[in-house]
Amino acid sequence: MNTAEQTLQLLKTRGPQTAHSLAAILKLTSMAVRKQLEAAQAKGLVAYRDTPGKVGRPVRLWQLTDLGHARFPDRHAALTLDLIAQVRSLFGEAAIDKMIDAREVASEAAYRAAIDPQAPLAQRVATLAVLREAEGYMAEAEETGDGSMLLVENHCPICAAARACQNFCRSELDVFRRVLGPDTRVVRIEHQLTGGRRCAYRIETAAPKQAAAGDA
């Protein structure tokens, strides 16, 4: 991967960055990184916004444009949308739901085969992140420091399909909750379809359910 692609990759996975912070990661000079950013800007791939700095000087943050985001895999969005529209037209909304249900069953089976339900929470989440990374979600697992975990997905390769049918997102969240186990609580805290830069899930150990009065 060349420097230009690395720069775009960092903006995709880390969000808005200064030229200085990118230079530190790439081990280049700030001037060299600015040249890369300006070249990408000329192609419409990145844009910047100036924000107030700590000492009065504005801080220039660079970020991907819609065209920049579109450089990352979307699994043939146009074809996907066309297929969804055709299925909906020919067979109705129930057929879309059946298609999502089938995908959900297949995904859950694949995840269960790889995730050890007895493993520590961090290991379960890390394994799920590896599986999602292989599917093109640019996923990573992060420890929060308070015992919980974050599953972060910097890219959604089925974003077009999810916009056309948001049950895809509901289905994925349900699968995560089941494969990570009944002792976990999974909450989506960032969502690309509602304007987030990425999708992120907070995952923590759930408090044990108390038995109802009269239960054996």
- Res 101: pLDDT: 93
Q: What is the mean pLDDT of residues 105-125?
A: 95
Q: What is the mean pLDDT of residues 144-149?
A: 91
- Provide the pairing of β-strand 149-153 with 199-205: antiparallel
pLDDT for 9-34, tens place per residue?
A: 899 888 888 999 999 999 999 999 99
The number of residues making up the chain comes to: 216
Mean pLDDT of the chain: 87
pLDDT for 60-98, tens place per residue?
A: 889 888 788 878 766 556 667 788 888 888 999 899 999
- Look up the pTM and report it: 0.70
Q: Which amino acid is at 31?
A: M
CATH of domain 77-205: 3.30.1380
Q: What is the CA radius of gyration of the chain?
A: 21
For the purposes of burial, counting CB atoms within 10 Å of the CB of 125, is it exposed (0-12), middle (13-18) or buried (19 or more)?
A: buried
- Residues ≥6 apart with Cβ < 8 Å to 5: none
Q: Domain extents for the chain?
A: 3-69, 77-205
- Res 56: pLDDT: 66
Phi first, then psi: give them for residue 137, nearest 5 degrees. Answer: -90, 0
pLDDT grade for 50, boundaries at 50, 70 and 90 = confident
Residue/partner pairs of 23-32 with CB below 8 Å, 24 or more apart: 28/3, 32/3
- Residues ≥6 apart with Cβ < 8 Å to 62: 11, 16, 17, 18, 19, 22, 37, 46, 47, 48
- Assign domain 3-69 to its CATH architecture: Orthogonal Bundle (1.10)
Q: What is the mean pLDDT of residues 32-49?
A: 92
Helix 93-114 to helix 167-180 angle (10° resolution) is 30
Stronger pLDDT, 53 or 149, i.e. the higher one: 149
- Res 211: pLDDT: 44
- Res 212: pLDDT: 45
47-61, 122-136, 150-164: which is most confident: 122-136
